[in-house]
């Protein structure tokens, strides 16, 4: 054995490497410094309490990370199951608590988001069946994810409705994206993106279409002068109104009125 100063003997070096590897495994890391699932049948459930916690992942809508965390939790639970089924109760309670937190944080009842059966209260029989517990957890997450998409869509539709109501109530003004931004308190790029996503057209296009629709009705239903209709619809000049109207309908406002009256 070579015992020169400054060199680690081969046998001691091997033991040292084994000890380091054991320490890394004990701390929950593999040799590549990546997190691994605890296989110790005793002790706490590491995956269940690993930061970021499950309720944080749910709250921030990280649905892929939520599914991956459930994979880790049930892989660890399966290893501990043969030693004590108390772990099943622990997992059930923590998961249910996280699901309640997510629902209540969003001003909802869990039973309303996922149904009475999925949002069940503490159930010993469920906690004692590994397969049933796993199926329940993934199903609740699936339904929470679906409900979050519905909520996001509803939120976008409410924004579109606010935009429409503002435009319709202020049609006699020179409406701009900046005016909408000031009224709604949102970034113009965000407003434009959401509106286009939900309607398929831009806000400016909607304003023109709505004004032209109203103009055609006014031309048919009353005897207001063309310049009066233009001013009522927020156009600063009659010439510009006539130009847009002809582009939209293929004829001038006067021609449209005459044709409608015959």
In DSSP notation, 92-113 reads HHHHHHHHHHHHHHTT--HHHH
Q: Domains of the chain: which residue ranges?
A: 1-36, 39-148, 170-262
* Spatial separation of the C-alpha atoms in residues 163 and 199, rounded to whole Å: 12
User: For residue 227, how far is the Cα from the chain centroid?
Assistant: 47
Q: 185's torsion region: left (phi>0), alpha (psi -120 to 50) or beta?
A: left
Task: Render pLDDT for 67-81 as a digit per residue (tens, 0 to 9).
Answer: 999 999 999 999 888
* Spatial separation of the C-alpha atoms in residues 27 and 45, rounded to whole Å: 13
Residue 155: predicted pLDDT: 85
Residues 6+ apart with CB under 8 A from 232: 171, 172, 218, 224
Q: Which two tokens stand for residue 67?
A: 């599914």
Q: Which of these CATH numbers, 1.10.10.60, 3.30.750.80, 3.10.20.30, 3.40.50.2300, describes 170-262?
A: 1.10.10.60
Residues 6+ apart with CB under 8 A from 253: 215, 219, 226, 229, 241, 242, 245
* Contact predicate 198/164, CB 8 Å: no
How many Cα atoms occupy the beta-carbon half-sphere of 204 within 13 Å?
Answer: 5
Q: Which two tokens stand for residue 108?
A: 């909802």
pTM: 0.53
Residue 13: predicted pLDDT: 37
Residue 192: predicted pLDDT: 93
Task: Render pLDDT for 220-241 as a digit per residue (tens, 0 to 9).
Answer: 988 999 999 999 999 999 999 9
Count CB atoms within 10 A of the CB of residue 203: 21
**pLDDT < 70: residue spans in the chain:** 1-41, 116-127
């Amino acid at each position: 054995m070579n015992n020169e100063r400054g060199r680690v003997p081969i046998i001691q070096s091997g033991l040292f490497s084994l000890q380091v590897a054991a320490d890394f495994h004990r701390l929950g890391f593999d040799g590549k410094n990546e997190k691994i699932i605890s296989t110790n049948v005793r002790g706490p459930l590491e995956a269940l309490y690993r930061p970021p916690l499950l309720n944080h992942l749910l709250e921030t809508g990280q649905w892929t990370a939520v599914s991956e965390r459930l994979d880790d939790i049930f892989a660890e639970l399966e290893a501990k199951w043969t030693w004590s089924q108390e772990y099943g109760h622990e997992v059930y309670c923590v998961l249910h608590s996280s699901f309640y937190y997510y629902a209540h944080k969003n001003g909802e009842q869990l039973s309303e988001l996922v149904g009475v059966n999925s949002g069940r209260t503490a159930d010993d029989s469920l906690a004692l069946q590994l397969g049933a517990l796993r199926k329940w957890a993934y199903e609740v997450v699936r339904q929470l994810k679906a409900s979050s998409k519905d909520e996001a869509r509803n939120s976008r539709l409410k924004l579109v409705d606010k935009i429409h109501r503002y435009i319709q109530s202020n049609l006699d003004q020179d409406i701009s994206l900046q005016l909408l931004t000031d009224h709604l308190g949102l970034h113009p790029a965000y407003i434009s993106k959401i509106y286009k996503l939900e309607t398929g057209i831009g806000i400016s296009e909607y304003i023109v279409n709505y004004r032209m629709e109203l103009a055609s009705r006014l031309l048919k239903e009353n005897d207001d002068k063309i310049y009066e209709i233009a001013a009522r619809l927020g156009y600063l000049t009659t010439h510009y109104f006539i130009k847009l109207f002809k582009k939209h309908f293929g004829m001038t406002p006067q021609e449209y009125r005459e044709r409608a009256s015959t």
